[in-house]
Amino acid sequence: MSELVTATGICKCSMGTTPAPLKATSNQKVLAGGKPCMTIADAQPMSNVGPFGMCTSMANPQVAAATAAHLGVLSPQPCIPMPVGPWIPTKPKVLIGGKPCLASDSKCMCAYAGVVTVSFPGQVKAQAN
């Protein structure tokens, strides 16, 4: 079973070096554990998904350029999240304001080949079944 992700959730990117906070902006009325629940529409860079420390993906032009400048030695660069579209819903029948909820097992793709997953939903009481 998966939990509803709230505004205090934490996510991680497969190409990032640190976890990042999540922030709900599409919903402020439906709460779980006293915190706003997130929907799949909460996938905007910086406003919903924070930076993941340093990016290690060679698909990122900044990382590729820095690595080339260092003669092929991987040179991570500061992460600027680039989610591609909304989160991929795993519980599409659980709606919040007409949009599928963001469940703890949802994923989001990054334009630079990373996969963003939820590492902590922000609460553990409300489940999406």
Residues 83/45, Cβ–Cβ less than 8 Å: yes
Q: Is position 108 within any domain? A: yes
* Global confidence as pTM: 0.91
Query: Is 1 among the domain residues?
Result: yes
Q: How many residues does the chain have?
A: 129
pLDDT reported for residue 106 = 96
Is residue 6 a contact partner of residue 36, using CB atoms and an 8 Å limit?
A: yes
pLDDT value for 125: 80
Confidence of residue 127 (pLDDT cuts 50, 70, 90): confident
Domain that holds residue 88: 1-52+80-124
Report the number of distinct structural domains present in the chain.
Answer: 1
Task: Report if residue 69 sits inside a domain.
Answer: no
Domain harbouring 19, CATH code: 2.60.200
Q: Is residue 85 part of a domain?
A: yes
The whole-chain average pLDDT of the chain stands at: 94
